[in-house]
Amino acid sequence: MTKETIINFSQAHAEPAWLQDRRLAAFEKMAELELPTIERVKFHRWNLGDGTIADSEASANVPDFTATGDNLKLVQVGTQTVFEQVPADLLAKGVVFTDFYSALEEIPEVIEKHFGSARPFDEDKLAAYHTAYFNSAAVLYVPDNVEIDQPIEGLFYQDNSSAVPLNKHILIIAGCHSKFSYLERFETIGQGQEKATANIGVEVVALDGSQIKFASIDRLGDNVTTYISRRGRHGNDATIDWALGVMNEGNVIADFDSDLIGNGSHANLKVVAASSGRQVQGIDTRVTNYGHNSVGHILQHGVILERGTLTFNGIGHIIKGAKGADAQQESRVLMLSDQARSDANPILLIDENEVTAGHAASIGQVDPEDMYYLMSRGLDKDTAERLVIRGFLGSVITEIPVKDVRDEMVAVLDSKLDKR
């Protein structure tokens, strides 16, 4: 890890002075910052980055997009953009969805204003590392009062044949009273087995009155050790509905956070996760209420197979002054093996009166009565168990806005069950 490698990368990409300064400030800050706290998850010896910053080479494993729809879409493999599609009518309205460096040419002031506003680099060591060493990025900007009917898709692939880290930054800016649905996928492709790391940061800046439906499915391979942060910053009366599918094969720690800065702001976080093999996944889902009458709800459902480990930490924090705030959370885990390990930890931090807050958590196995009922109707045990699992996770899966992706998530769950 040297300052010179960061400067060389920044200069090679003609980054503006403010961004190079931000990278260097983050680099200097790393030494004094602690790792983020993920309760009951021992990840401190994981390799989450070796201090390299480089571009990946063009991949031979680019998926086929000849049959793609005509909606707003961006596809990147490693650090390379391989497909970009912006319909003419949205282009005319000022919508931008492109790679980071192209966006810096189109909307430089917007990016400088909002980059890092949802997740400051000095928050913890991994946030600083991300800011110093991110090697590719994408920007989605929807101007004020623009509504988009078709889902927007961002597809980001990690190439199994490459050891270049997937240090990806996604910046989404929703203008005042804009409205859209965004679907994000992270997936490993290719036949290689290079050990790799991923440090992914997603910032969603929801300005006053904006409405965003954010859905994701993460499918990084068992060779990738991942840290992923998705962070929303909500203005007055801004809403983000999150539906997050954590379906990776390797070890993962994740922060899914919403900061309800504005009065009347809303965050609904629905998370579904599946752990299998000897995989360890630790997921922090947090809502912090700052604004008056702000509402934050968390629903997390997970399934564990074989010797997998899954930890859900649900954190609701109502800050002093957030009158009328509402923080609710529910975390439930279904264990399909006696060797599985799980924690479901509800945490409520209440610093204000005149608020509403509550939590629920449970860990259990498949209900024998449910199995008996289904099998009494002629289903075999394997089919009955799959139906129970789908029903258990269905509250999140149904929130994914694209049917093909909902089907894909079910297929991923089935493939994990088939490996038992």
Give the pLDDT confidence of 140-159 residue by residue, as tens digits. 999 999 999 999 999 999 99
**Average per-residue pLDDT for the chain:** 93
Which range has the top average pLDDT, 183-187, 398-402, 405-409? 183-187
Taking residues 84-95, what's their average pLDDT?
Answer: 96
pLDDT exceeds cutoff 70 at 259: yes
- Decide if 334 contacts 370 (C-beta within 8 A): no
CA–CA distance from 175 to each of 94, 138, 235, 369 (Å)? 11, 17, 10, 50
- Decide if 306 contacts 275 (C-beta within 8 A): no
Residue 28: which region, alpha, beta or left (left: phi > 0; alpha: psi -120 to 50)? alpha
| Residue-level pLDDT at 280 | 96
Q: Which residue has the higher pLDDT, 402 or 298?
A: 298
| Residue-level pLDDT at 66 | 67
- Nearest Cα neighbor of 265 from 296, 286, 242 is 296
Helix (H) or strand (E) holding 419: none
Share of the chain above pLDDT 70, in %: 98
pLDDT exceeds cutoff 80 at 388: yes
pLDDT exceeds cutoff 70 at 420: no
pLDDT exceeds cutoff 70 at 41: yes
State the DSSP code for 258.
E
pLDDT band at 189 (very low <50, low <70, confident <90, very high): very high
Taking residues 329-349, what's their average pLDDT?
Answer: 92
| Residue-level pLDDT at 67 | 65
CB count in 10 Å sphere of residue 157: 24
- CA quadruple 310, 153, 203, 318: dihedral, nearest 10: -60
- Nearest Cα neighbor of 152 from 86, 94, 229 is 86
Indicate yes or no: pTM above 0.85: yes
Taking residues 161-169, what's their average pLDDT?
Answer: 92
